[in-house]
Structure 1
Amino acid sequence: MTALNQLYPQPLWQWFETICSIPHPSKHEQALSLYIQNWAKKQGLPVAEDEVGNLIIRKPATAGMEDRQVVCIQAHLDMVPQKNADKDHDFVKDPIEAYVDGDWVTANGTTLGADNGIGMSSALAVLAANDIKHGPLEVLLTIDEEAGMTGAFGLQAGVLDAEILINTDSEQEGEIYMGCAGGVDAEISVPMVWEAAETSHKAYQLDISGLKGGHSGVNIHMGRGNANKLLARFLFSHSDELALELTSFTGGSLRNAIPREANIVFTLPAEKVELLKQRLDQFDAILCAELAAADPSVKLELNEIALPKQVMAEDTQDTFVALLNACPNGVSRMSDDVEGVVETSLNVGVINTDSEHISILCLIRSLIDSGRSEVEGTLTALVQLAGADVEFSGAYPGWKPDNSSSVMALVNQTYHDIYKKEPDIMVIHAGLECGLFKKPYPDMDMVSIGPTIRYPHGPDEKVLIETVGQYWELLLAVLERIPAKS
């Protein structure tokens, strides 16, 4: 088996192998951060940790390039922790089992962390090298990008000296990103009322699995099944005729990942069990037909369990099921300005049941503030009609495209010179941190590039090896071409 550290470019892949060996899911980046800080100090590179935990590492210009504009290479420290149901893996303790699979690098049953580990590896490899030409450099590694952009929110003015920022969090070689969507979290809460379970009933757990899931900013337009919405659909259609009484609904794990798995626990009269199985067979056939292209491995599994002591009161259950079934999900509108790009979307990401509430956590994304506001209004109206509550939090701005960007023009020309073809200048529906950086650094010129990564935020995540080399060559060529300070 080919070792990662033997791939081209070796310095980058060596760093990525190290990063995979140190657990770093969102909100648990401390071990990786400390490793990088200790490494930087040994290299004699100035390193600082800001108030929220972001790392800033500086490197002087190579000889003769001291007059160039200061460049910041930016990546985020954390990765999305997602795994297959049958995979025994603790993201806080266990390393990522990355391996070469043909033309790709992927992981064994978990997310790979190429998002944004490849970008982080490229920044660290540039810092480590003594044969790369560049002007004064800063590397900014932010925390908690995937779970709330905490690091980007916390970045203060005056911390960076850079005039140019190269974000490394894009996921398609041959595309240069100059704008991205903003977003906001929405948490819907339905108050819980319990009642005693009927002792004559049977109890079951229904699981849905095998869906591809994926990144809610990158894959939301692909028609993939949302596990939460699919179970809601079944409940809304059949709860009454089955006299089904819910005990819990659990689905998804991240608000920015399309949920791949969900389960419900419920009771029903013993005489309804055969009808339940018939309806599930019918629903399974419907899903297999509808999702044959987008999610061919979807699976329903029903298992009898011990009878719980309590179930949801009828009004609570009816409110929750109707609300979840009616909740918008997926693409709301495509962009009129950028062909083929989603303008506004909503992902029904996580559902949890506790003793007092059942909650629905969603992520709204939009390229325009008015689009985000429209979806916020739709959710608010829906929740008011249901007599539930909704709270919006963690709003972050989009990154408005700047057609006059000098660094975008430089990357565009450099790509053409290397590969003799035009790159695509793009705006991405996913959230990049650049929009937040514009608040403390409104005059900073920004661009985003990266290799080809497929299925980020899911255990099928993989990165195309050839494009990592292409991204690396482009990055080094751009650094060498950065102009002198005006």
Structure 2
Amino acid sequence: MYNNLEELISHPVFYYFAEISKIPRGSGNEKSISDYLVRFAQDRDLDVVQDKSMNVIIKKAATEGYSHSPTVIIQGHMDMVCEKNQGTNHDFEKDPLQLRIIGDMLYATDTTLGADNGIAVAYALALLDSNDIPHPALEVVITTEEETTMKGALAVDAAHFNGKILINIDSEEDGKLLVSSAGGVRVVQKLPIKWDNVSQDKVTYCVSIKGLKGGHSGISIDKGRGNSNKLLGRLLHDLTSEFSCFIQQISGGLKSNAIPREAEAIILFQSDDLGKITERIELWDQTFKTELQISDPGISVSIEKREIASSKVLSKVTANKAISSLLLIPDGVQGMSMGIEGLVESSTNLGFVSTNESEIAFVSEIRSSVKSVKSYMVNQAKLIANLLECEVTIDSDYPEWPYNPKSKVMKLFEETYQEKYGKNIEVIAVHAGIECGVFIEKIPGLDAVSIGPDIFHVHTPEEHVSIPSTINNWEYFIYTLKRMKDFYGEQQLNEE
């Protein structure tokens, strides 16, 4: 076992993971990490392409004896979700991650770790840097903005590739082989604001919901965790119905693809109502603690005085529409798969709410493994927006990855796992966006699988990765590359 970081980085995968953890790489801020990958390839005389979207494609020739094996595309993404604990002094635009080991797990300090998907980048770099790992010709593609729009993968030019086999390294469960994923789309509902002014005798308070676990809006959507934006809608509906209470601002969450952990509203009211409103907040605190006692026992609802001089508030009509949006926009699991037990088929997540001078934005992530259902859910979102007289935009649309029961690379990974460990690997589908679907649309006949180590609490500051699992998965990965020469030779003879 590795007891400290110095020992850990003696392993090539963790060496490169530590190196890229020094480089800011939040979605949309990938130039530095993209340039690092280009320099890495150039320093090793490898063919490299950096496109306009900052995607990087690195090619390495087959090792001795593998020149007749089919070319393999290795794929992951360089960006990460940037979340931190409240009060943490970390600037994701410039500060390196502070890695730490707890037991056999690797964490960052009070921030997301970026194992999603830095592990893929580390695997790729360790493989490209090696001179003693047998492998076919490699085409490594590391994409940008996967966590937000999949813009990088969508922009990749398929003409760069000769390979018809794709190994994606963006899965998060060791001992499981991912062979299908959901498609998704982002829906942004914008409510135009009409402002009113209230009398200067009002007091200003902030109502906050905190302490929720959050998590990935695909992987964790079936865990029954609270959505702070939806809970805030319930609370505000009650306060504005029972008291002469005005709303100045609503905000919650950080990303459409992360279940929001915190939300708050700035409210104004008569000081005489403070006692009753505080009692009502305490009642909601107990209500939410009861409802979420299993999934989110740490939830808290609080009210705190704010020194804000402005008397400008949302008009009554705007406030009603804002609260209605919080209550009516669908959230959570919308349907389960009838073909794969326990798999979420369709869901939506109201992940981000923000207020500016002109509008309130409600940003949702819709996912489904069935294209027609995804389309239905988008139409439903449009109808809700129209009823509430909101503008709506649809973007970041990416395709699902359909299951292929005749996949050869799936069979290869199943066989090599049985050979190496003496047991069957579990073949799974996942309710999350994986870039395999994009590449399958771009490259006709592409055969794909996805693997990865055990990563926990992705998209939250509690994200951590299992060190033994990362090493185990790496050894499985390179063992399978080694077996490709014999496997595809045998497959060709069988077909003939």
Q: TM-score range by the shorter chain?
A: over 0.9
Report the Cα distance in structure 1 between the residues aligned to 2:10 and 2:298, rounded to whole angstroms. 35
Q: Is 1:131 the counterpart of 2:132 in the alignment? A: yes
Report the 3-state secondary structure (helix = DSSP H, G, I; strand = E; otherwise coil) of the residue aligned with 2:208: strand
Indicate if the aligned counterparts of 2:60 and 2:128 stay in contact, CA closer than 8 A: yes
Q: Is 1:223 the counterpart of 2:210 in the alignment? A: no
Question: Which letter maps to 1:260?
Answer: R
Paired position in structure 2 for 1:442:
444
Report the Cα distance in structure 2 between the residues aligned to 1:3 and 1:143, rounded to whole angstroms. 31
Paired position in structure 1 for 2:303:
302
Report the Cα distance in structure 2 between the residues aligned to 1:19 and 1:242, rounded to whole angstroms. 52
Question: Which letter maps to 2:470?
Answer: V
Report the Cα distance in structure 2 between the residues aligned to 1:384 and 1:38, rounded to whole angstroms. 50
Report the Cα distance in structure 1 between the residues aligned to 2:4 and 2:57, rounded to whole angstroms. 30
Indicate if the aligned counterparts of 1:343 and 1:371 stay in contact, CA closer than 8 A: no
Report the 3-state secondary structure (helix = DSSP H, G, I; strand = E; otherwise coil) of the residue aligned with 2:21: helix
Paired position in structure 1 for 2:344:
342
TM-score by length of 2: 0.96
Paired position in structure 1 for 2:214:
213
Report the Cα distance in structure 2 between the residues aligned to 1:41 and 1:392, rounded to whole angstroms. 39
Indicate if the aligned counterparts of 2:78 and 2:143 stay in contact, CA closer than 8 A: yes
Deviation, structure 1 residue 170? 0.3
Q: How many residue pairs are counted as aligned between the two chains?
A: 486
Question: Which letter maps to 2:336?
Answer: M
Deviation, structure 1 residue 226? 0.8
Q: Which runs of 5+ in 2 are unaligned?
A: none
Indicate if the aligned counterparts of 2:148 and 2:396 stay in contact, CA closer than 8 A: no
Paired position in structure 2 for 1:84:
85
Paired position in structure 1 for 2:322:
320
Paired position in structure 2 for 1:243:
244
Question: Which letter maps to 1:229?
Answer: K
Report the Cα distance in structure 2 between the residues aligned to 1:155 and 1:375, rounded to whole angstroms. 28
Deviations 1:43-102 (A, max 9, x none): 111111123221011111111111111011111010000111121111111111111111
Indicate if the aligned counterparts of 2:30 and 2:54 stay in contact, CA closer than 8 A: no
Q: Which runs of 5+ in 1 are unaligned?
A: none
**Is the deviation greater in 123-132 or in 320-329?**
320-329
Deviation, structure 1 residue 377? 2.5
Report the Cα distance in structure 2 between the residues aligned to 1:77 and 1:272, rounded to whole angstroms. 51
Indicate if the aligned counterparts of 1:215 and 1:456 stay in contact, CA closer than 8 A: yes
Identical-residue share of aligned pairs (%) = 36
Deviations 1:368-396 (A, max 9, x none): 01221222222222222222222222211
Paired position in structure 2 for 1:377:
379
The structure-2 alpha-carbon separation of the partners of 1:399 and 1:129, relative to structure 1 and needing over 3 Å to count, comes to same
Paired position in structure 1 for 2:262:
261
Deviation, structure 1 residue 140? 0.5
Report the Cα distance in structure 2 between the residues aligned to 1:208 and 1:179, rounded to whole angstroms. 36
Paired position in structure 1 for 2:456:
454
Report the Cα distance in structure 2 between the residues aligned to 1:304 and 1:456, rounded to whole angstroms. 33
Paired position in structure 2 for 1:362:
364
Paired position in structure 2 for 1:468:
470
Paired position in structure 2 for 1:430:
432
Report the Cα distance in structure 2 between the residues aligned to 1:36 and 1:370, rounded to whole angstroms. 38
Paired position in structure 2 for 1:110:
111
Report the 3-state secondary structure (helix = DSSP H, G, I; strand = E; otherwise coil) of the residue aligned with 1:409: helix
Question: Which letter maps to 1:464?
Answer: S
Deviation, structure 1 residue 9? 7.8
Report the Cα distance in structure 2 between the residues aligned to 1:423 and 1:7, rounded to whole angstroms. 27
Question: Which letter maps to 2:185?
Answer: V
Indicate if the aligned counterparts of 1:5 and 1:13 stay in contact, CA closer than 8 A: no
Q: Is 1:405 the counterpart of 2:418 in the alignment? A: no
TM-score by length of 1: 0.97
Question: Which letter maps to 1:437?
Answer: F
Report the 3-state secondary structure (helix = DSSP H, G, I; strand = E; otherwise coil) of the residue aligned with 1:247: strand
Deviation, structure 1 residue 190? 1.0
Report the Cα distance in structure 2 between the residues aligned to 1:301 and 1:410, rounded to whole angstroms. 54
Deviation, structure 1 residue 110? 0.5
